[in-house]
Structure 1
Amino acid sequence: MLTGMSVIQVRGLEKAYRELRVLRGVDLEVERGAIFALLGSNGAGKTTIVRILATLLRADAGTARVNGFDVAAQAADVRESISLTGQFAAVDEILTGRENLILIARLRHRKDPGAIADDLLKRFSLTEAGARRVGTYSGGMRRRLDIAMSLIGNPPVVFLDEPTAGLDPEARLEVWQAVKQLAQGGTTVLLTTQYLNEAEELADRIAILHQGRIVVDGTLAELKGLLPPAKVEYVEKQPTLEDVFLAVVGDAAAADQK
């Protein structure tokens, strides 16, 4: 059931490439200001969902609305409401961090691009590196700059598609902190990832996508509740999100074979 607080609403979404059915009737709903993690293996259809929601791809069936706008009929309004950060940082390594931000602010016709750049550098703890060429940045710094660039214009909805893919543990922690700051500022974040601990650390709600379908959707506590309670022997072991993921995907795969 849809609620007035939902900023992303998806119903019956389907997409196929010839004989390959990538999405098979996806339903999901994201509340305003929440971090929603779409968790799944490679090829599960996560990026396809993001591309449809970002108006980069048309669905074969179903409906999707972002910030109140239909992604098919009101694509321009959707694009005004969102920002998309893909799997690879879209930064210019020759320019400094500050110059990258100023460039995007000017391209988006924002007033006082220098002030915007300085504010975002401070917000993402990049002020000291702002005058350095991005080619000297670490992976985590580049990704944080990439996310900062995506926030120019204050979009209410941000899509992060595998934002920490290929990053080392320290860089991943830096990006996690940046994502948390987005939500604290009221931005709605839809995050795709295949890292179970990333979803566990960041998300208010988690949906597991398997073979083109959402097989489970809930809070971390609700997902852990799908498994039997922990048995107390010498130590108490609570189920992890990894336990839930493997159990749910295994059950779905068994059902598909029947």
Structure 2
Amino acid sequence: MVSASDTTRGAVGTTQVVPSRRLAYTMLDGSTDLDSVADAVSAHVVDVEGAAPSVVVDDVTPVLVDRGLDATGSFVAALGSLSDVAEVVVGCSYRLEAAADVRSLFDPTDVSDPVDHPVTGALDRLRRDDPTTFGYVRRHWAEARDGIERCTRNYPQSKQVHAALSDPATTPRTLGATLSGLVRLDVLDTWGETVGSTRYDLTAYDPDRMWAVGAALATSSEERDADDESATVGDD
């Protein structure tokens, strides 16, 4: 265990190792640079006997808030480059003030634990009330996100969002169904002053909520894959 907090004073850390050598506890000052934290972790894992250990960061969000995106990204990359570990799991509490940095640092498809975000309730309601639309969102949310973020129009139709994609797996129709689901999840809105085909208000697009949708779906994919297959029969 490596603890970096204001409870420790001074640049030099202290390390205690229990007799069995199965637990080493290092305390570092909260102002310690992140390279020193990564070095402390590295020093422990090389001495572990038997199966390679896992490295778990309890919550990286305070680091994001205090040290910034670049420093935190380098820290996470340093942990990921350790050769003597089985896996690196980075915990992250989702705070509004750090949402943009979390989105930049982590791909939502890499999230492995349930997300504590209001969008999970909205997804549950969509799945219950309209499983077909939920199925489209579950299958095509990433492509819809890419289309939204690449589209240069403020109020496009689904075919215009679709045209912004390269080598899409969707059609304008299936992408439109996905976009309609994202509207119901408050990721974006529709433009009310229109007749005929729906136009989407991309000025209302919320990329942080879009990230949360992807992360929430990533953590529920195994139990919902069967539902999605039946819900989107007839995609073309």
Per the shorter chain, which TM-score range?
A: 0.3 to 0.5
Which structure: greater helix fraction? 2
TM normalised by structure 1 equals 0.35
Of structures 1 and 2, the one with the larger relative CO (CA 8 A, separation 6+) is: 1
TM normalised by structure 2 equals 0.37
Task: Report the structure number with the largest CA radius of gyration.
Answer: 2
